[in-house]
Every structure is written in C-alpha cells, then in structure tokens.
Chain A
Amino acid sequence: MTPILPAYSLMDHDIARARPLPTTGVGASLQRKEDRRFLAGEGEFVGNIKLPGMLHVAFARSAVAHGRILAVHKPAGFEDAVFTMADLEAGSPPVGPIRVLSSLPGFKPSSQWPLARDKVRQVGEPIAMCVAASRAEAEDIADAVVADIEDLPAVVDMLEARDAPPALVHEEWGDNIFLETLVEGGLKGDAFEALKRGAAVKVHRRLRTARQSMAPMEGRGVVCSWNTRLDQLEMHTAAQMPHINRAGLSETLGIDQASIRVIAPDVGGGFGYKGILLPEEICLAWLTRHIGRPVKWIEDRREQLIANTNCREHHYDITVYADARGRLLAIDCDSVIDSGAYSSYPFSACLEAAQVGSILPGPYKMEAFRCRTWSVSTNKPPILPYRGVARAGVCFAIETMVDAAARAAGVEPHEARLASLIEADEMPYDNITRKHFDSGDYPEAIRRAMQAIDLPRWRARQGAAEPDGRLIGVGHAVFCEQAAHGTSVYYGWGIPMVPGHEQCGARMTPDGRLELRIGAQSHGQSLETTLAQVANEILGIDPDHVRLVHGDTGMTPYSTGTWGSRSMVMSGGAVAEACALMVERVRDIAAHLFQVPLDQVMLAQGRVSDRAGGHSLTLAELAHVWYRQPQRLPPGVNPAGLEVIGGYKARVDTGTFSYACHAVAVAVDPGTGAVELLDYVIVEDAGTLVNPMVVDGQIYGGTAQGIGTALFEEMRYDSQGQPLASTLADYMLPGATEVPAPRIIHMETPSPYTTFGQKGMGEGGAIAPGAAIANAVNDALRPLGAELTELPMSPRRVMAAIAASRAGGVIGSPHAAKGQAA
C-alpha cells in the first residue's frame, strides 16, 4: 500500500525543535481527554456492568499442580449450577480446547481445555464452573465441588524440566520442551573458536530472572449475554485485543465470527496480562447460551496470583568475550524459558524465547553470536508477554555481562559500552541477528546519562565511608525497544498471529465533528487524546471535537489490538491516512460548492476556503450542506461522502527502535540487604513525541514496574508446584515509597519509517531497571567481592551473595542455578 500522506515535514530533528510549541496537534502536552471521566470515577469497567437477570460465576480450581482427574463430583442439589468439561463437550457444537501453534519446525502444541479434562497441569486450573445469584453463593458451591485427583509428580524447575524431568507435563510429547531454537550470526565454527581463544576477556555467568505475576489494578473480568434478536454473543471483557478474542472464541466454540461481538470497555491496565483468549471467556460464552441468562465473572486477586498467567522466568548460561578494553567480541548463550503449562492464545509459548534469541545482542556490534533457546513446559501457569516482553530479562543478561566484562578489563562500564555500541552515523544498521535499527544515537544517550547522574560525584562518595555503614553503588544500562513490529517480524518468529495493515474508519458527523474507529484498544495508553491530536494535525479539527470509538468488534475495523507498543505508530498512522482522505473529500465537496477548481481549495485550521478568498466554510457548515442540504451540491461531486477508511503499514515493517539509558545510584545496607535508590536518571529517545506528557507517564509507570522486577516481584513455588504468594502481602509490588521520581531527559530522533517520526515507547521504562539497578548493586558490593546474578535482588539474595563471597568468593547467589529459594 502506498500511503496517501507524503513524508511528513517533522522528519528533521532541528526543524521540529524550531517550530513553536504546539498546543493541540502532534507534539502538544494536551491534557488527557479520558481523565474527565476517570478522575470523576465515571469510567465504565467490566465490573461496573450489570445486566437484568445476571448470574455470577465462580470456578472450582485445582488444588494440585499435576494430577490425573478421576472424577469430579457436583454437590448434591446443585447439579444444575455446576458445569464440567463434559457438559461443555456435550453441547452442539462441542466446545474445543485452546491450541496455539508456532509455525517454527519442531514445535509441540498443547491442548488447554477451558475446564480441565483428563489432567490438571497447574494449581488453579479451572475444573468446574459454578453459577449462582451472587458471587459469594457461587463460591460456596465451588467450595463444595470435590475433584478426585491422582497426584503426579510436579515439574517445577525449568532446568530440571529440561534435563531430568520428574514427569511429563504433556505425556504425548516425550519430553517437556515446546520448542528448541538456535540463532547464529557472524563468525561460525573454527573462526568463532579462534576468536574465543584469542579474546583478552572472557566472563561466564549463570543468570536467572524470577517468574513474575503481572498485576494490573483491574483484574480480568467477563460479562456476557446472548442477544436473541441478533443471534449473537455479546461479551464485555477486560481485553487488549478484542478482535483476537473474537477469533479465538469462534475457533473454540465452533460458531462463526459474525455471531460474536466482543467489547472491551474501560480497561484498568493490561501490560500483556489481558492479551489472551481466556478459558473463562470460553466457559461463560457457552454458559450464557446454555442457561439463557447473562453471566458475570470477575477475577479476584487470589485467582490472579495463583491461577492465572505469569511472565518473565528466564535462565541464561552465558559467556561474553571482549577485548582488553572491554569491547564486545562475541556472545555464546544457552537460554531456558519457563513457559508454564500451556501455549496461550495468540502469542504461543514461544514468543519469549524467540525474542531472547534474536534481541540478546541489543544495540551492540560484535563479531560472533550464538544463542540456543529452550521453551520449557512446567506445572505452573502459562507465561504471557509482559511489558517489555523478553527484553527485561535480555537487558539484565547482556548488561550485567557488559559490566562484568568491564570489571574484568578494568575499565568503567560506560567506556566498554561506548566501544561496542552502534554509532549514529551507521544508522540505519542491520545487526548481527539482522535486526534493522532505524535510527538513533545510543552513545550520546549514555554520555548524557553519565553527565546527568554525575558519575564522578558517586565515585568520590564511594571513596569515603558512609556514616550509616551502607555501601554506595552506581550503575546503568542501555537497551533498544523494538516496537510496532510488523508482518515480517511476527511471521519470522513463528507466532500464529501476524499483524498486517491497520485501518481507521473516519466519519464526519452532520455537525462537523469527527468519529474515529480503530481496532486497537486502550488500557491506559491515552489513545482518545493522542489520536485526536493526530486528527488535529491533519484536519485542523479541535481535539475536543474528535471522538474515538475503539474496543468493540461490532463497530471497528479488524486489528490485532494493542500490544508491542504499536498503537501510536499503527493506529496513529491509520488515523493520519483516514484524515488525509477526509481532507480530499472535504476539498472535493468545497470545490463543487464554491464552483472553483480543486487546486484552489485549501483546508486550514478547521476551515475550508478558496485561495481567492471569496468563499469560506467551517467543517460544520460544510458537513451540514453535505448531509442536510444536498440540493445545493452540483452534479459530479464524489458520492462517497464524509466517511472513509484509511489504511496504514509502515514503509519498513521491522519496527521502530526507541532506546534509553537508565542510570541509578543506590545504597546497599550490608546489615539487612536492603537497597535504596538514591537517584535515577533516564535518557530516552522515542522519536517524535506525539504527546510528551503521555510519554513521560508511560516512562514513569514502566519504570515503577521495572523496579518491581529489580527488587521485589517474585512468584515463588514450592517443590510440589504450590504457589507461595496468594495475596499482595506475599507478592510484593513496589509502591509510592519504593519508586523515586526519575529525572527524564528526552532526545528526539524521528523514525524514518513512520508518519510523524514517532516510535513505539510504551514498554521501555520496564525494561532497564533490573539491569541498571543490578549493575549499581554489584558496583556497591564490589569491595566485598560479592555479585548478584538473580532477580529480584531481595534482601535475602543480597545477604546470600555477601555471605557466599565471605565463604570463598563464589560469584553470584547460591540459588541462581536452582532457583527455588527466595
């Protein structure tokens, strides 16, 4: 497709700077339109929805991690209120399992039945659906459901699952491996071996990142009913990608997609947790039709923590080779991902590992790269791509290794990075795994970060003992955030959902307002504001006169939805294209009305006029003529009117590359292991910022979550596969007292491939904190000879690392290889 819009004029950094600060269009820090309802408590979330005659659902869930189901007993007197997979399969058509395949060779698919059949493979797996007049009564019934389950050994640790499994999660596979991949680049074979032998610096570590629970403020929730007039399922669900949920419901329920309408209302945070087809959605869809009543299920926090999907659990056995000044030469890595019990819809069990294999080199140049990955199945919940997806683990791995190499070489870590990074004048740059870096100046980001954190100040402070005995450290990390990845990337990763072209439907109403319909969905991204800014930029229309319709399959064009920091690039591009088409329609109507040639008609500041100055109409006046006074329009006017579909795909679909350097100073208490963040600087380049205030908000929120990854969040399991956190008292999230106010410094290198030069940037904040804080903590512990190699850096792990170094200089916490200790 050829975009209607010419290359946009904001392509040059300096021109963008020279423009007066915009107040409404692209670049304006416009206050969020959606906050009017959110701040007044007037949003509408799934939990707010009440339908006449609505019943409530609770699920009886497995208490064991792995077992064979012998029987499920419905409580006496409640046989009509309890449903098992046998009931769902007895319907016509029968409900089927969720099966999500990777197209990569060797992938082994899993069958996830919406209610467990034959086996349970994780604690919390739904076994029976219970319906009652209230949730409390439904929970009473669920408590009375008895499942006879023959225990099987639980597969808990991913390395054990791969190397010495106590059992098979999916017996038909013969092992516990969804997929094994190998990614190589640069020198191979003997040449690689020679490089290894000749490298001045070689560092090897085993690194581990904890399994995390994504914890949006609003959990999942479903309300659905069957509309008999339309013969259509109507489902409200807290979802990021309603069109994908519709497709998945169709496949598992065996009904056509037009008979399903999925609506995502206001959604209170997604972060990847709501980018999934839920077993509960399938169950409730079947139930509402079966009993002829609206039904509702709201996930509670305990279900969220113990039963539903997790994220982030990685292991790296990694060796980095560098020259004598710390410049990277090669990476050799074996990485294992704990993908959990099932392959989730639509991202599959392999997205995380596919990313690890291809993005581990980060923004560094090197001569050889080899990474083998295993996506392993265990008796734990499936993992989903959480904000930043594999990048948080990858950044932790590569950036702690760069620091380790710098320490080994005896240079400052930023010097090692500057020696290895892609330079600005090499952009665009195809790296060793053929990632296409679109633009940017990574070394400059590091230089600015070092200046802002004031490295010499912290080095000086380290020289003098702290009065309270704490140890001071300073560290940083750099990363790239590939966003809005398109067709080629997802096809290449074998993911069954491949994004293509994005559309926006635009309609001018008879009073000159604008309705925009997009298939992406907001779960906090501020799209109602930022896309109105795009419309303002093209059409000149007041952003308050723009209404965004999204999150509803019945009203919007198909889209894979909101994930991968894609909406500002993809929907932003589509809105721009639709508005450009609308400009042409408006001009055509005006030319006929004014009786002047088309090239004499111009549209500026929401007003259409002829260049001679004889005629002028507001958009509202023109729309009124088109809809209400067609008698005034001469023959020959384009009958298509003021309703258009604009489509967009980036010229180069490999994605935009935002990047940042996070630099942090810490104090580590050697008496308790506590880590305090003393200063935090972020130098970030997301290209053209459509709304800088919204961008800063994304960075703050992401960074808070990254601090959780670094220091707090950990979903632990015992040897039987029992989750050890069932409340937020046990699963520790950072709060206001743990998150400092980061100082954000923007660079603005527009992407050469997007409409305004904008780059996706919604995830970056969450990527670097684990790595940056680990580097700072290890810097602080260096005098003790201690080093941490596992996230989160809980006080217990910090103390264990200190104790291990005292006991004999073992690098890393003693738990890194096994992973079950806290």
Chain B
Amino acid sequence: MKAPVFDFTRALSVADAVALLADTARFTKPLAGGQSLGPMLNLRVAFPEHLIGVRQIESLRQAFIDPANGDLVLGAAVPHAQIEDGLIPDVTQGLLAHVAANIAYRAVRNRGTVGGSLAHADPAADWVNTMPLLGARMVAVGLAGEREIDARTFMTGPFTTALDEHELLVAVRVPALGKNARWGYVKFCRKPGEFAEAVGGVLIDRARGIGRLVMGATDGAPIVLEESAERVRAASSDSAVAAHWTDARLSAAIDAAGIGHDPYSAQLHLTMARRAIAVALA
C-alpha cells in the first residue's frame, strides 16, 4: 500500500493550476485535501503521473456572499470542518453546516474539501447530493475561461462529472434560501462516518417556488424530483407540497434509477426520503 511514483507541483493561482492541468503529455490530476485520492494512490487504483496541489490557492479558500444576488460563493478548497464550525456565512438555514458535520470523521473533515469531494463524485458522498438539493451552480475554469454548471447536471455518473479533463472546479455558488424555507437531510450509514448506503434530502421554499427531493447514494447521479415553481407557489402549506411525493412516485423514481433490482436498497432509499420529508415538515 505504497503510492506509485508521481510528480507533484503546488499551484499558487488558478491560472497556474489551469496551465499545469493543460499538460496533455502526462496524466495530470488536481489534488486538494487528498482524503479520497490519497488512499486511491496508496491502493494503486489511481496512477496519475502529475498531481497539481490546489489547496494553497488563496481564492479557492475564500467563502463570501455575492452582493449582486446574495449567493454564497464557496471556494472549492474550503474544508468541511470550516463549514461545520460555522466559519462561513450561512445562507441555507443551517443545511450546509448540518451536512458538513456528518461527513466521515473530524480528521477527514479537517483536510477534505468541498470541491475535492464534488470533483471526485462518489455517489455515496454528501456534497454531490446536497448541492443539487440546493440548486447550486459549479464554477469551473479552463483554458477557455470560466463557466457555470448546474449541480443537477454536474454529476454524470459514478465518479464522473461534467468537468472537462483540464478544467478546475474553483467554487460553488449556493443560492440563499428564503426565511421560511424548510429542509430535511438524512442518510443511512452502517456506522457514523462511513459512506452512506442511502441519502434522502428535501427542500421546500414556497416563497421561492422550490419543492425539491433528492435521493442519493445511488449507482450514479442522485435522483432529483423537482416540483414546478407554479405548483409550489400555489400550495397552501409545506405539507401540501410534500403530499406530491407519494410512495408510488418515489418507488417509480427509484426503479427508473435502476435501484429497484435490489429490494433492500430500494427500501432504504424510500425510507430515507420519507424521513427527510418528516424532518422537513417537523
């Protein structure tokens, strides 16, 4: 369990990193907190030839509110622990801090980063399920410049994303929730700190026309059930929004995602979704 030989370069700016990542002669990967890539190197399941350290890039470590629209701009190299500890502005009624506090173990949260986890795209991880729930947008920079990717289309499969090979995820834009927004986020792990076997997330923000349910830890990207803004705004209560998420509808979505062949996993996903709804409405 020793890593194979690789080169390492520490980038000090996004421009540096993007230029280094553009190297097509070698298999090049960015390295942030190393909490996933590190073990993969040691287990010799990943063989990058050149790692670009991005953790020291100052702009990636920032988190601030965009005055233009109230979005939280969360730098990709912000560690989970900073979010857990309330050291970044909260625009999600505590959802980000709740999720962060339950990622793996504190030692992992101290080093693991939001962007690293998103770019790694393990279906059982938390941010790949939380960001679609929040309707966040990923900010990526490549040689062609900067672009935004909707979190709901960011993950394209297990461990694969919409990022180009040479693009760097630099930040996540998290839209602010309304004052009366309610959420639930639950997951089932064999032990606290292990990867989830099923994730359920619910967000109801009637003022902003958001009624969204996420079922994660699937075989790929999370299942997102999105209610239309008109329907949500027309609903008389949060419960009325949630009433659309019947067992039959959830099970159909679970089947459509290909989980139905495993009754245990299907049941777990249904249970987590129901419990997330219950938490949101509680």
Measuring CB to CB, which residues of chain A are less than 8 angstroms from any residue of chain B?
A: 134-136, 139-140, 143, 300-302, 671-674, 712, 726-727, 729, 732, 734-735, 737-738, 794-796, 799-800, 803
Tell me whether B44 and A143 are in contact (CB under 8 A). yes
Chain B's interface size range is 20 to 34
Question: Hey, which chain B residues are within 8 Å of A729, CB to CB?
Answer: 194-195
A820 and B83 alpha carbons, distance in the complex (Å): 42
Q: Is B5 an interface residue (CB 8 A)?
A: yes
A302 and B39 alpha carbons, distance in the complex (Å): 12
Tell me whether A799 and B267 are in contact (CB under 8 A). yes
A795 and B43 alpha carbons, distance in the complex (Å): 28
Q: Is B89 an interface residue (CB 8 A)?
A: no
Q: Is B263 an interface residue (CB 8 A)?
A: yes
Task: Tell me the minimal C-beta distance from B247 to chain A in angstroms.
Answer: 12
Tell me whether A795 and B271 are in contact (CB under 8 A). no
Q: Beyond A136-B2, A302-B1, A672-B271, is A803–B263 a contact (Cβ under 8 Å)?
A: yes
7 pairs of A and B residues whose beta carbons are closest in the complex: A136-B2, A671-B271, A300-B1, A796-B264, A737-B192, A799-B264, A139-B2
A135 and B2 alpha carbons, distance in the complex (Å): 7
- Beta-carbon contacts under 8 Å, B258-272 to A: 263-264, 267-268, 271
Tell me whether B190 and A712 are in contact (CB under 8 A). yes
Question: Hey, which chain B residues are within 8 Å of A737, CB to CB?
Answer: 191-193
Tell me whether A727 and B264 are in contact (CB under 8 A). no
Nearest chain A residue, comparing its CB with the CB of B190: A732
Q: Is B94 an interface residue (CB 8 A)?
A: no
17 inter-chain pairs at a CB distance below 8 angstroms, sorted by A residue, are A134-B2, A136-B5, A300-B1, A301-B1, A302-B1, A671-B267, A672-B271, A674-B188, A732-B190, A735-B191, A735-B193, A737-B192, A737-B193, A738-B191, A795-B264, A799-B264, A803-B263
Give the one of B4, B5, B268, B274 with max A CB within 10 A.
B268
Question: Hey, which chain A residues are within 8 Å of B5, CB to CB?
Answer: 136, 140
Task: Tell me the minimal C-beta distance from B36 to chain A in angstroms.
Answer: 11
- Beta-carbon contacts under 8 Å, B15-59 to A: 39, 43-44
Nearest chain B residue, comparing its CB with the CB of A303: B1
Nearest chain B residue, comparing its CB with the CB of A799: B264
Question: Hey, which chain B residues are within 8 Å of A800, CB to CB?
Answer: 264
Q: Beyond A727-B43, A800-B264, is A672–B188 a contact (Cβ under 8 Å)?
A: yes
A732 touches which of B4, B191, B263, B274 (Cβ 8 Å): B191
Q: Is B3 an interface residue (CB 8 A)?
A: yes
Question: Hey, which chain B residues are within 8 Å of A140, CB to CB?
Answer: 4-5
Tell me whether A795 and B190 are in contact (CB under 8 A). yes
Question: Hey, which chain B residues are within 8 Å of A672, CB to CB?
Answer: 188, 268, 271
Tell me whether A727 and B39 are in contact (CB under 8 A). yes
A427 and B111 alpha carbons, distance in the complex (Å): 60
Nearest chain A residue, comparing its CB with the CB of B4: A140
Question: Hey, which chain A residues are within 8 Å of B190, CB to CB?
Answer: 712, 732, 794-795
Tell me whether B194 and A732 are in contact (CB under 8 A). yes
Question: Hey, which chain B residues are within 8 Å of A796, CB to CB?
Answer: 264
A735 and B3 alpha carbons, distance in the complex (Å): 27
Task: Tell me the minimal C-beta distance from A737 to chain B in angstroms.
Answer: 5
Nearest chain B residue, comparing its CB with the CB of A58: B2
Tell me whether B191 and A136 are in contact (CB under 8 A). no
Tell me whether B271 and A136 are in contact (CB under 8 A). no
Task: Tell me the minimal C-beta distance from B198 to chain A in angstroms.
Answer: 8
- Beta-carbon contacts under 8 Å, B160-199 to A: 188, 190-195, 197
Task: Tell me the minimal C-beta distance from A297 to chain B in angstroms.
Answer: 13
Question: Hey, which chain A residues are within 8 Å of B39, CB to CB?
Answer: 727
A805 and B56 alpha carbons, distance in the complex (Å): 57
Give the one of A729, A732, A799, A803 with max B CB within 10 A.
A799
Question: Hey, which chain A residues are within 8 Å of B195, CB to CB?
Answer: 729
Apart from A140-B4, A732-B190, A737-B193, 19 more pairs, CB < 8 Å: A136-B3, A143-B44, A671-B271, A671-B274, A671-B275, A672-B268, A672-B271, A712-B191, A729-B194, A729-B195, A734-B191, A735-B191, A737-B191, A738-B191, A795-B188, A795-B268, A799-B264, A799-B267, A800-B264
A732 and B188 alpha carbons, distance in the complex (Å): 15
Nearest chain B residue, comparing its CB with the CB of A135: B2
Question: Hey, which chain A residues are within 8 Å of B193, CB to CB?
Answer: 735, 737
Task: Tell me the minimal C-beta distance from B37 to chain A in angstroms.
Answer: 15
Give the one of B39, B43, B190, B274 with max A CB within 10 A.
B190
A672 and B266 alpha carbons, distance in the complex (Å): 11
A136 and B41 alpha carbons, distance in the complex (Å): 12
Task: Tell me the minimal C-beta distance from A480 to chain B in angstroms.
Answer: 32
A729 and B197 alpha carbons, distance in the complex (Å): 12
Give the one of B4, B39, B267 with max A CB within 10 A.
B267
A301 and B44 alpha carbons, distance in the complex (Å): 13
Question: Hey, which chain B residues are within 8 Å of A794, CB to CB?
Answer: 190
Question: Hey, which chain A residues are within 8 Å of B188, CB to CB?
Answer: 672, 674, 795
A737 and B105 alpha carbons, distance in the complex (Å): 12
Question: Hey, which chain B residues are within 8 Å of A712, CB to CB?
Answer: 190-191
A301 and B42 alpha carbons, distance in the complex (Å): 11
Question: Hey, which chain A residues are within 8 Å of B194, CB to CB?
Answer: 729, 732
Task: Tell me the minimal C-beta distance from B254 to chain A in angstroms.
Answer: 15
Nearest chain A residue, comparing its CB with the CB of B105: A735
Task: Tell me the minimal C-beta distance from A301 to chain B in angstroms.
Answer: 7
Task: Tell me the minimal C-beta distance from A370 to chain B in angstroms.
Answer: 37
Nearest chain B residue, comparing its CB with the CB of A822: B264
Nearest chain B residue, comparing its CB with the CB of A712: B190
Task: Tell me the minimal C-beta distance from A136 to chain B in angstroms.
Answer: 4
A735 and B43 alpha carbons, distance in the complex (Å): 23
A734 and B5 alpha carbons, distance in the complex (Å): 34
A727 and B194 alpha carbons, distance in the complex (Å): 12
Question: Hey, which chain B residues are within 8 Å of A300, CB to CB?
Answer: 1
A734 and B190 alpha carbons, distance in the complex (Å): 10
Task: Tell me the minimal C-beta distance from A713 to chain B in angstroms.
Answer: 11
Question: Hey, which chain A residues are within 8 Å of B44, CB to CB?
Answer: 139, 143
Task: Tell me the minimal C-beta distance from B282 to chain A in angstroms.
Answer: 12
